[in-house]
Amino acid sequence: MDQILGQVLRNAVWERLDMLSDLANRADAPSLVSVARSELPRLTEGWRAMLRAHEPDVRGDCPTCSTRWHRCKAPCSVWQVAHEHLVAGGLAPQEAPRGRGRKRSPLPAQATHQTAADTQGRHALIPQAPAAAR
């Protein structure tokens, strides 16, 4: 039951983000101003709440990402993504360190989400089988 509720919650968040992206790409100027005034404060407060949960403790560990057996040093991936998207977002994507053989995507999570949504239906509660398996 928790998995279904979690999936419903995730779907609602993805759908809200999709709606805001669509508005940003298609709305006229007066609509954009209205959306910006109502949504930017909510989005910035959401980022602040999430980042507060990932503030390093006195040992320099992220209390949210750390477990009893594995300590996650700050900055954790949440802070790294926040910096990438909120501060360094205008910078060109950088080449991955040698040996990895691929470039970093400027929006890794979004790109993965959009690809799955485009090929399998947007926010399915039941994961679809890969196209090759059908």
Report which DSSP code applies to 26.
H
| Cβ-based neighbour number of residue 71 at 10 Å | 14
In three-state secondary structure terms, 64 is coil
Tens-level pLDDT at each residue, the chain (134 residues):
788 999 999 999 999 999 999 999 999 999 999 999 999 999 999 999 999 999 999 999 999 999 999 999 999 999 999 999 999 876 655 555 454 444 444 444 443 444 444 334 444 444 444 545 44
**CB-based burial label for 63 (10 Å; 0-12, 13-18, 19+):** middle
In three-state secondary structure terms, 11 is helix
d(CA 39, CA 27): 14
